[in-house]
Amino acid sequence: MFESLFVFEGPFGSSAEDRKREKFRKEREEMMAASEQMFKKRPSKNMSSRKLNLDSSTQLTDSVSPADVVKPMFDVTWGPLIGTLSQVLESSTNETSIALCLSGFVYSIRLASHSGMSLARNTFVNSLAKFTTLGSIKEMKSKNIECIRTLLSIAIIDGEYLGDSWSPILQCISQLGRLHLFASGLDSEDQFLQVGSPQLTKISEAAREMEENNGKAVLAAVNEVLIDKVFSSSVTLSARGIVNFIDQLVAVSEAEISGDTKRGISGVSASGGTKGMQGKITTSGHGIEGPRIFSLQRLVEVADYNMDIRPRLTWSQIWENMGNHFAKVGCNENAMVSMFAIDALRQLSFKFLEKPELTDFNFQRLFLKPFLLIMENPGSREDIRELVLRCVDNIIRSLAHNLRSGWKIFFSILTLSASDPSAKIKTLGLAILQRLLDEHLDELCRLSGNVEDVDLPKDLDTDQEQPLSSLQKRQRNANADDFVGLCKASLSFVQTEKAENPLPIGLSMRALCHTACYADIIAEKRVLPPVSGFQSTDPSLSGYTYTGLSDDEALEMAIWRPLLDGLAAGICSSAPSSSGGVGCLVQRGSVMALRAILLRHGRLFSVPQWAAILSYVILPAIQIGAENDCSPVNKISSESPSVSSLDFIGEPLSLPPLCDDEGLKKFSAMAQSDESSPSRPLGTAELLVEASFADLRHGGDGNLSKAYRLKKKDVEKRMVHLQPFPDSWIATTAPIALGILSDLVHVNFLLLGDRAIDVLWPIISKQLSRWTVGSLLHQSQVDVSGSDHENGKKSLTNVEWQPCEAIVRIACKEWCRVYQSVLSGTAILDKTLLRSWLKTLNKDLSDIINQNIHVEEKLRNDIVESKLASIERQNAVRRGNMENDEPLPRMTHLDLLPKLKSRCIAAHCLQQYISSFVNELAPYIDEDATSHLVDALCTSKLASRDARQDEDLAHAFQEAFFEQWGDGVEEVEAALRGVSASGTGHRGSSQMFFLTQEASATKATVILLSLLYCQNHGEDIDPDSWDAESYAEPVLMRSIMDVLTEFLASEVKDGVFVDPNVWRSASESGGQVAFYCTSFAGVVVHILEAIHGLEREKFERHKESLFPMLCSLVCVQSDEIRQWVSSIFTKQIGPLIGVMEESQ
């Protein structure tokens, strides 16, 4: 065979030996050429002549780096060198040869490391690591142990330059740690961490015995201090060196936890093996290894060593990879491993936070971020998330005074806990927030503490005299930003959307109490607004505020807006929140919290700020709540405007007692006496919310001065008023939500002067008009923290919206409450401002009545046209001129009837409420307001008269009635029982609705005009006031004659059909039977009352027209009317005929 090889040598090729020789010659020539170029290097031209005369050796020393000379030479020799060293080390047993080989490895690794030859360095280190035989089941010899010692010394001496070569060294150290456990007679840690796992292969007895022997040998030869020194010497590494060391230690730790720790040092993975003696496959004895935490423990030690000696900027680079590793391990499926990681993270956090953070730095936020990553990980277990919250709680308890940028991480974690699937996690998260408010509020507000804290001015007015430094401005902005994060964390526990795992209602209610506490903090200036950087586009960024404000006003609202928007989201929450038959607890609680904050601290807001609060918070929230209510309450329709089928609707809250109320003080004292209550005093808004919630929880009557009595009640004995529609927002929440408007007028707006009339009242009036009459909605939005809607907002669309009857009745009552609020301000307002308020209210109320009548007439015409079109369509189908399957109109006359009824009810309710406050209004009303109001009432009266006389409309009402009751004869007869033969006088008929509307319009007109006609001209009357008597007299007398004439005619015609029981109370007979005489009986009573109160001179002027009417009224069936007639005869007519009242 050898001879055949030489056949091909000659001109066609050369032997392998010749090729090697030729290659070596070329490399030598290249090296010589490179060396020649180095020697030919000359100094620069600007060097002195003295340097030019230096000998060549000096020139070589100064101009050539040793690495530049050594690197080319070593680059050529390291390949053969490693082969020689490996071969000798593998086969030799001579100690001298082994020592020389190990020295060769040391110097080779040092040369490669210092020369930047990563390939050579990695090759030598990997080869030396392989000679340790760590990671395989072999009997260790002395040379293997010497290899271990050599590897450790390299790590200690040359660690700065090892770079990626740290990986095999750290893997060997990991295996040394395992051998030490065996040598100590203990199980490997993977046995402990993988308890109960069926995947772990049991170690054989022979393998265990060999591991123990190897461990003892290593333990005797390698001092554990040497291993510790590898990690403790990390403090001497440069910034780049420590980063490389940490990166490789993290990689080894990941391999340990995944169960694959031997790849790279033995040529096998955890699941593989190597061929041993006799061709058998041998493994490390573990098969599929369990997780180990040796390197993770060492990682904690390295972090501890370097934390305080490294600059924070360098430490942030080190921690980036380390923190991500802790976060990943913290979510490991092995509970022992993940808990160890989190506990280690907690210990490091405690040490890191012991050093206060300087201003403008965010190292705390970076260091604590792994906790947040664990909470955000959807694969983390419940017990791990609980452990994270426990760590957060411990840190806050111990180191709250040192926290700065770390607050952001903690608030984000607590926010995430609110959406956790586990109720236990939710409860723990809110408990941490509660403890933060109760025990660490001063640390959060940063009123005192470290030198770095900003000494904030005591009064905002001093800012101009003593401008803040740039450092103080940044600190102010950071404080405000942290406070906003705290507010959002609490508000995340307020359920605003439907969820698979809803928050317990108790947590949401407690979180609402937090909002009042935050408002008190702002009002007390314990947290100041930012000084720059406001914006109104992105709620997730700092400085989010309202548009349309001055810079100072916008900055002030930057700390208010998250609070107010969160409460607005709670008001219009779509999540069900019923408990024990009481519904919409979260929605009502949000209203109460917002109301308490605005009533207690409303003095802090300017008129533009109030306009923003109304336009962006209150009004959009209540509008969305009303629109989203799909309960049956929307479809309930009363049979008469005066007899409501909606008596279950809640009532507005009464005004709260003053801050110094004795009842509230008693409630506060009792609340603080509870063991679970905070020792800190409750703020004014927080106290009001707590009392309101106690009243709501125990079924109180709304009198918060007596809330302390409810605090004593046993929960089992509480009185709860069950609601027929507990999930209806309109029935439960709408009255108190809309009631905020009149409360704000009474407490805050009356004191703001004319600007409140010009700016704020139009916003309120527009909303009241929308709920009374309906309107075309304009695009508006309300923020919803944590919701699934786009950009976190709910929108109102540009569609026509008509309120249901329940909303109409609520809005009409609110009109009355607004009037009462203004009229109750006579003691605090001057007459000019009071008259301005009333003039504006009267004009808007008159416009609302006119607008309502306009809509009512349009609906009436549409119903009649639709009814006639329907009849014509039926006739055409009957004649065969039209197909029966032709599509019907979008809305039929039966669909329009509920809307018409709502318009009639709106007119009636407004007119009824006018009658209730007109006594207080009359002294302050001027001629223009009176004229507008009387004209509006007359328009309503005439429109309702036309409607009740419209036979087509009556037939439409009757058709709707029969459709409602069905085809049952008995039901229809029961509904029609006791009415006229025509069946048009039943409840639900057009006569019932429009007679009631006409009667209330007439009643309001009569009462107003009679007050103006009969008012006393005392000293309090303005001498320049208008002649109300002359204006009222003709209109009043004409109305009186018209009503009495028609009443008498109806009594004669229809009185025989009226049950005598109906006449027991004339003022209440109108809602029972639809006849003029019954509907206007209450109006006649007020007319007779007005006639009775006329001065003798005025009565004498109209006696000729009044006397016949009074005589006719003697014969009516109503006892109440006859009694009034008798009194009038006694008082007014008796003196005229010479019969004095005293003689009667």
The Cα 480–Cα 522 span in angstroms is 10
Give yes or no for residue 879 having a pLDDT over 80.
no
Structure confidence by residue, pLDDT tens digits, 575-628: 988 887 788 999 999 999 999 999 999 999 999 999 999 999 999 999 999 999
The Cα 165–Cα 705 span in angstroms is 76
Higher pLDDT, 85 or 193: 85
DSSP 618: I
What is the 3 state secondary structure string of 1024-1084? CCCCHHHHHHHHHHHHHHHHHHHHHHHHHHHHHHCCHHHHHCHHHCCCCCCCHHHHCHHHH
Mean of pLDDT over the chain: 82
Question: In which element (H, E) is residue 88 found?
Answer: helix 66-91
Q: Where are the alpha helices (DSSP H) in 880-965?
A: 893-921, 927-948, 951-965
Which pLDDT belongs to residue 51? Answer: 45
Give yes or no for residue 1021 having a pLDDT over 90.
no
Structure confidence by residue, pLDDT tens digits, 1089-1119: 999 988 888 888 888 999 999 999 998 888 8
Residue entry with tokens 């086969």 = 91
Exposure of 118 in the CB half-sphere (CA atoms within 13 A):
4
Hey, how many other C-beta atoms are within 10 angstroms of the C-beta on 508? 25
The Cα 762–Cα 766 span in angstroms is 6
Tokens, residue 180 = 């030490």
Residue 52 pLDDT grade (very low, low, confident, very high; cuts 50, 70, 90): very low
Residue 259 near residue 270 (C-beta atoms within 8 A): yes
Q: Collapsing DSSP states into helix, strand and coil, what is residue 162?
A: coil
Give yes or no for residue 560 having a pLDDT over 90.
yes
Q: What is the DSSP string of 752-775?
A: GTHHIIIIIHHHHHHHHHHHHT-E
- The type of residue at 524 is E
Looking at 32-41, 87-96, 275-284, which range is the least confident one? Answer: 275-284
Looking at 653-662, 978-987, 1128-1137, which range is the least confident one? Answer: 978-987
Which pLDDT belongs to residue 851? Answer: 94
Residues 6+ apart with CB under 8 A from 357: 363, 364, 402, 404, 405, 406, 452
Residue 54 near residue 48 (C-beta atoms within 8 A): no
Give yes or no for residue 142 having a pLDDT over 60.
yes
Tokens, residue 125 = 């280190």
Residues 6+ apart with CB under 8 A from 485: 407, 408, 411, 412
Higher pLDDT, 218 or 390: 390
Higher pLDDT, 720 or 66: 66
The Cα 921–Cα 1008 span in angstroms is 9
Residues 6+ apart with CB under 8 A from 713: 698
Parallel, antiparallel, or unpaired for β 780-783 and 793-796? antiparallel
> Average pLDDT in the 951-958 region?
87
Residues 6+ apart with CB under 8 A from 326: 341, 342, 344, 345, 370
Tokens, residue 448 = 């005192």
Residue 289 pLDDT grade (very low, low, confident, very high; cuts 50, 70, 90): low
Give bridge partners of residue 582 from the DSSP assignment. Answer: 579
Give yes or no for residue 473 having a pLDDT over 90.
no
**Which pTM does this prediction carry?**
0.83
Which pLDDT belongs to residue 73? Answer: 87
Which pLDDT belongs to residue 242? Answer: 92
Distances (CA, A) of 797 to 620, 624, 641, 779, 805: 12, 10, 31, 6, 22
DSSP 477: H
Virtual torsion, Cα 536, 538, 541, 542, nearest 10 deg:
10
DSSP 655: P
Distances (CA, A) of 633 to 201, 520, 731, 746, 962: 68, 37, 7, 30, 22
Give the residue among 89, 198, 201, 73 at the shortest CA–CA distance from 144.
89
Give CA angle at 912 (908, 918), nearest 5°. 140
Distances (CA, A) of 475 to 204, 211, 364, 767, 1092: 64, 59, 15, 41, 74
Ranges 34-38, 143-147, 481-485, 1026-1030, most confident: 481-485
Q: What is the DSSP string of 541-607?
A: STTB--SSS-HHHHHHHTTTHHHHHHHHHHHT--S---BTTB--HHHHHHHHHHHHHHHHHGGG--H
Helix axes 142-157, 95-115, angle to 10 degrees: 30
Question: In which element (H, E) is residue 780 found?
Answer: strand 780-783
Looking at 165-179, 789-803, 814-828, which range is the least confident one? Answer: 789-803
Which pLDDT belongs to residue 881? Answer: 62
Q: What is the DSSP string of 176-190?
A: HHHHHHHHTT---HH
Residues 6+ apart with CB under 8 A from 506: none
The Cα 105–Cα 82 span in angstroms is 8
Looking at 717-721, 865-869, 971-975, 1078-1082, which range is the least confident one? Answer: 971-975
**CA distance from start to end of the chain:** 160
> Average pLDDT in the 369-381 region?
93
Q: What percent of the chain has pLDDT over 90?
A: 45
CA 734 to chain centre: 21
The Cα 1134–Cα 1144 span in angstroms is 9
Residues 6+ apart with CB under 8 A from 571: 587, 590, 591, 594, 621, 622, 625, 733, 737
Q: What is the DSSP string of 692-720?
A: HHHHHHTT--S-GGGHHHHHHS-GGG---
Give yes or no for residue 964 having a pLDDT over 80.
no
For the chain, counts of helices (H) and of strands (E): 50, 6
Residue 137 pLDDT grade (very low, low, confident, very high; cuts 50, 70, 90): confident
Which pLDDT belongs to residue 559? Answer: 95
Q: What percent of the chain has pLDDT over 70?
A: 79
Higher pLDDT, 1070 or 1143: 1070
Which pLDDT belongs to residue 64? Answer: 61
Give yes or no for residue 167 having a pLDDT over 50.
yes
Looking at 407-421, 870-884, 918-932, which range is the least confident one? Answer: 870-884
Give CA angle at 797 (796, 803), nearest 5°. 75
Residue 343 pLDDT grade (very low, low, confident, very high; cuts 50, 70, 90): very high
Higher pLDDT, 267 or 751: 751
The Cα 727–Cα 403 span in angstroms is 43
Ranges 290-304, 789-803, 880-894, most confident: 290-304
Residue 222 pLDDT grade (very low, low, confident, very high; cuts 50, 70, 90): confident
Hey, how many other C-beta atoms are within 10 angstroms of the C-beta on 888? 9
Residues 6+ apart with CB under 8 A from 74: 108, 111, 112, 115, 117, 120
The Cα 35–Cα 27 span in angstroms is 12
> Average pLDDT in the 371-395 region?
94
